[in-house]
Amino acid sequence: MLYFADMNQVEHIGIAVKNLEASIAMYTLLLGVKPYKTEEVASEGVITVFFDAGNTKIELLSATRPDSPIAKFIEKRGEGIHHLAFGVDNIKKKIEEKKEAGFELINTEPKDGADNKLIAFLHPKSTGNILVEMCEEKK
């Protein structure tokens, strides 16, 4: 069977952080660039901060309320890499394709994400314990 790269790049890496200000300062030092965007996604109870890291982006994720998925993640697993996000051209089609390929989808319909994206997550139990996001730039 022939496979080809249909998740065309690691669009960003999502990192869960406890102390947003301290993390912004650390990543600014580490990457040598300041964040280019800060955006709250109220429906997810999260503030996102984006860094341009050359051929990918770093997305810091900080909870705004205790029942936020990010707060729960940090409670269970501590700070660290939260998800890998792959850029796709047609997210609706990709959701169907990944479902057919046997992956478990958390989102069977695209939803609004940060940074002008439509997003959908694959469940970590079908992807070797890594939360995988597919994202499509909104046109």
Give the contacts of 121 (CB within 8 A, at least 6 positions apart).
83, 105, 106, 107, 131, 132, 133, 134
Pairwise CA distance, residues 40 & 63, whole Å: 10
Instruction: Decide: is 60 part of the binding site for Zn ion (CB under 5 A).
Output: no
For residue 135, with 0-12 CB atoms within 10 Å meaning exposed, 13-18 middle and 19 or more buried, which class applies?
A: buried
**Among 24-32, 49-57, 85-93, 124-132, which window interacts with Zn ion (CB under 5 A)?**
85-93
40: nearest Cα among 76, 65, 15: 65
DSSP state of 66: T
**Among 18-26, 30-38, 77-85, 99-107, which window interacts with Zn ion (CB under 5 A)?**
77-85
CB of 83 to Zn ion, least distance (A): 6
Instruction: Decide: is 110 part of the binding site for Zn ion (CB under 5 A).
Output: no
**Among 16-24, 65-73, 97-105, 128-136, which window interacts with Zn ion (CB under 5 A)?**
128-136
The binder of Zn ion chosen from 24, 85, 120, 122 (CB under 5 A): 85
Q: Which residues bind Zn ion (CB under 5 A)?
A: 14, 59, 85, 133
